Amino acid sequence: MNAQQQWTAYTTILVKEVLRFSRIWVQTIIPPVITTALYFVIFGNLIGSQISDMGGHSYINFITPGLIMMTVITNSYANVVSSFYGSKFQGNIAEMLVSPTPNWIILAGFISGGVARGLAVGLAVTLVSLFFSSLNVQHIFVTFTIVLLTSMLFSLAGLINAVYAKSFDDITIVPTFVLTPLTYLGGIFYSIAMLPPFWQNASLLNPVLYMVNGFRYGILGTSDMSIWVSYAVIVAFILLLGGFSLHLLNKGIGTRS
């Protein structure tokens, strides 16, 4: 395939993925917005009003970047895992893999769809957060690149889950037992500086912590760790999962009978 044909293949997959979640926006975009609004009401206004400033910011402003990042993570992951597994279940993926379309184009198309949904939901949640908190973005470039890279990372993770899933029940195991604990223990609602030394060190093993703190640095200008460490961890995971995902597609693991 020449460059024009590859671009056409990529945009076709991307448009299909975007239409997939945008046509049912009541199911894909509105629910996480409502859920996050409840977090703001309960943790921000009710509980947060009883908590002193954290990291030099009001509690509701402190948790806002984490809540936005949580929706980006879960929706990027959910979009790819459900879409790719659905295509695999219907046999569409096998047809794409035997076509002249390079596997990296297929991978890029699905990942871009996950990123699109993650950013769309993240933007919607950000707009809602303005009713509860006062955000003044300190570093626009850092804010955008961290959320973009994080969305890419969890889109890749969702694809890997979909490759190995053998039933629709399997695509809920990782979000329930892995993704949810990592996000809630990723410094969304607290600073790890509050923890005892042992648990501070244990928290450093959680990759979500670096994403949340990187995004918080971009918006508030404060973080529990160096922004360069956050970038390094995220990029390293993207390269690892991206290479592994491409390997799975090249070998046809989980996609060819």
Number of other CB atoms surrounding residue 132 within 10 Å: 20
DSSP H helices in the chain: 3-22, 25-28, 30-39, 59-90, 92-97, 103-129, 140-164, 173-174, 180-184, 197-203, 207-220, 227-251
User: Average pLDDT over the chain, rounded to whole?
Assistant: 90
Which of 1-5, 41-45, 81-85, 160-164 bottoms out in mean pLDDT, i.e. has the lowest?
A: 41-45
pLDDT in tens, 164-216: 988 888 888 888 888 989 998 898 988 888 888 888 888 999 999 999 999 99
What residue segments make up the domains of the chain, in order of their start? Answer: 3-251
How many degrees, rounded to 5, is the angle at CA 28 between CA 185 and CA 163?
A: 70
Would you state the pLDDT for residue 99? Answer: 84
Question: Could you tell me if 110 and 48 are in contact, meaning their C-beta atoms sit under 8 angstroms apart?
Answer: no
Higher pLDDT, residue 136 or 10: 10
Summarize pLDDT for 8-49 with one digit per residue, the tens. 999 999 999 999 999 999 999 999 999 999 988 887 767 766
C-alpha to C-alpha distance for 248 and 245, rounded to whole angstroms = 5
pLDDT for residue 48? 67
CB contact at 8 A, 220 and 138: yes
| CB-neighbour burial class of residue 49 (10 A; exposed 0-12, middle 13-18, buried 19+) | exposed
pLDDT at position 257: 57
pLDDT at residue 139, as a whole number: 94
Distance between alpha carbon 105 and the CA centroid of its chain, in Å?
A: 20
